[in-house]
Structure 1
Amino acid sequence: ATGMRGVCQYYPGDRIQTNPSSEELILVADNIPKDLDKELEPYGEVSRDWNRLEDATVLIIRTDRKFDADDFSRASMLKLIITATHGLDHIDIEEAKRRAVVVERAPVRARAVAELALGIILALVRGIAYSDRKMRELEWVKGKVRGFELVGRRAGVISMGIVGREVAEVLKGIGMHVDYCDKYKMGGRSLERILRESDIVVLTSPLTEETRGLIGRKEIAMMKDGAILVNVGRGELLDLDAALEALEVGKLGGLGLDVYPKEPPFEDDTFERLRRMDNVVLTPHLGGSSEEAERRIVSEVLRIMGKWFGRRSEISEDMGILGSLNPI
């Protein structure tokens, strides 16, 4: 026991003893697939009313639901948080440890992120987004657009976690030479070497104090002239002011962003300047948004619930199949 009402300390392999008919309240964030609700009913009451946080024992969230020390103070009954994300920067992990709240990830969206990264790269190197805008303005820019093919080009992936591995696989599949930088993985190259040698650099790192501001003016200056920079990790990895300056002087050949320091970024002055540039592709944090990823979230959350509470529902056949498309 931890001394807090309704909260005990558990370790992997332990079973959380519950009476689902009267004790468990599972709060689910609005952007979690609705299909999950019915599957969770055998574990207790399922709600999307976050005014009931004080009585919740399980939370299922994504990055847009920040959970800080004040939230933990309100959620005195909390036992388990499941986050359908790869990173944990939206949760106060130290507070979770202090209160003996278990935090589990359901990182099942890596393939979706990787394919979006490839789409952004193609949009930049072949001028797809730029050409689309011009066609809608009734301007024929065929003679102004000359991109390059990806086969044989060098890509550098920053961080070889779950997302980084998928990005590397996708880029290798299209014929690129892929190197990576990750101090926690064997066989990688230094950040400086990746930046100096890569035609395309893809940021996939989670946000930690170590990776915050990872790419700034100094790092961009090391990159090849005309190189492409894509961020599908976390917005705070990249100094956007430095990237903007590099675009304006032609140091960077293109910039692709799916994540931003503040989301949505619409009132930010730097973003306002970036969105007017022809060699910039901007997407609204779409990385993990695919039908398959949504279904994998359901199956992975149920697996985690079964691990801690004992299996009380069957994963439907179609969800099980989709969950196996991207083994991790």
Structure 2
Amino acid sequence: MKKTVLAFSRVNQEMAERLAQDFNVIIPDPKKGDINAQFNEALPEVHGLIGSGRKLGREQLATAERLEVVSSISVGYDNYDVEYLTERGIALTNTPDVLTESTADLGFSLIMSSARRVAELDAYTKAGNWKRSIEPPHFGTDVYGKTLGIVGMGNIGAAIARRGRLGFNMPILYSGNSRKSALEQELGAQFRSLDQLLAEADFVCLVVPLSDKTHHLIGKRELGLMKKSAILVNIARGPIVEEPALIEALHNGTIRGAGLDVYEKEPLSESPLFKLSNAVTLPHIGSATTETRQAMADLAYQNLRSALLGERPQNLVNPQVWKG
């Protein structure tokens, strides 16, 4: 008898067909009414969940009595109550590594576009304001040779550091829970406390996972430690930055600018950030390339299939639940 899989976000036709080869597949359809109602109605019969962007924990999964695995199409898993899933013996899988390079590309593009005021001057040009040579009020700042600070030197942080050091001759500073001796040797990266890094770096790039420890890691005090000429880039999670403090710092000139792909509330249709010319604001597109999203979907499919067929998944967030 086939097990049942429920998609809790949109999946493409190819994935739906692949899943249907081995499982009964339920994909909520907005044309058939409320998505949340369809999701909740299907839960009691479901053995596997696959998708991204939905908070799943004790309250949301109370009726999912047959659930064996949640396969997230993401590297981050702060949307899931890992402790609860582990308590229930439910495997949680994610899709690390396959999005490292595309997310690093996005992070460095925010460094470049913030420094050279790309979005601002694109709008300026399209509005018909370019009537003479650009003057100092519209000048940007150099990236080459400036100091790059990475907060959270994991795979993505290391990939950004390589782009900065090898491509732009940038001295690399980093902070985190542990020293990275291999990267220190490879890139000449230097370890700093967070406060030291904030004070020294020209560009501060946040690449840490969201946790109780990193929630509002960057607030008014931390922004005040940064150079007035510095730029903050956040491609991690929105709540790592205290947003009102950042808005105030950008408005008052405490820092030069910010490049943001993530926010405290998402999706975000209105924000004071959108009115600030020194903030580049993107709609959480870190991994949003055709190739990377396909690779993430493929890995999530493999994780789900393995778990439901009794094989250890490649990427277990909570390996202690696996008895096989």
Question: Residues 173-225 of structure 1, C-alpha deviation per residue, up to 9 Å, x if partnerless?
Answer: 42222221111444532111211111000111111001001001111111112
**How far 1:135 moved relative to its partner?**
1.4
- 1:275 equivalent in structure 2: 274
- 1:165 equivalent in structure 2: 158
* Residue identity matched to 2:49: L
Question: Residues 3-58 of structure 1, C-alpha deviation per residue, up to 9 Å, x if partnerless?
Answer: xxxxxxxxxxxxxxxxxxx3411112333444222222333112212241221111
The number of residue pairs the alignment matches comes to 286
Question: Percent sequence identity over matched residues?
Answer: 28
Q: Note if 1:80 corresponds to 2:73.
A: no
Q: Note if 1:27 corresponds to 2:16.
A: no
Q: TM-score if structure 1 supplies the norm length? A: 0.81
Aligned positions of 1:262-301 closer than 5 A: 262-267=265-270, 271=271, 273-301=272-300
Question: In the aligned structure 2, how far is the partner of 1:162 from the partner of 1:68?
Answer: 27
Indicate which of 173, 176, 180 corresponds to 1:182.
Answer: 176
Q: Note if 1:154 corresponds to 2:125.
A: no
**How far 1:306 moved relative to its partner?**
5.0
Indicate which of 188, 202, 217 corresponds to 2:205.
Answer: 202
Question: In the aligned structure 2, how far is the partner of 1:104 from the partner of 1:177?
Answer: 36
- 2:47 equivalent in structure 1: 57
**Aligned residues of 1:106 and 1:301 also touching (Cα < 8 A):** yes
Q: Could you list the runs of 5+ residues in structure 2 that have no partner in the other structure?
A: 29-38, 182-190, 312-324
- RCO higher in 1 or 2 (8 Å CA, sep ≥ 6)? 2
**Aligned residues of 2:69 and 2:304 also touching (Cα < 8 A):** no
- 2:315 equivalent in structure 1: none
**How far 1:68 moved relative to its partner?**
2.0
Indicate which of 191, 195, 198 corresponds to 1:192.
Answer: 195
- 2:24 equivalent in structure 1: 45
Equivalent position SS for 1:82? strand
- 2:31 equivalent in structure 1: none
**How far 1:91 moved relative to its partner?**
0.5
Moved more, 26-35 or 199-208: 26-35
**How far 1:274 moved relative to its partner?**
1.8
* Residue identity matched to 1:256: G
Question: In the aligned structure 2, how far is the partner of 1:66 from the partner of 1:104?
Answer: 15
**Aligned residues of 1:86 and 1:105 also touching (Cα < 8 A):** yes
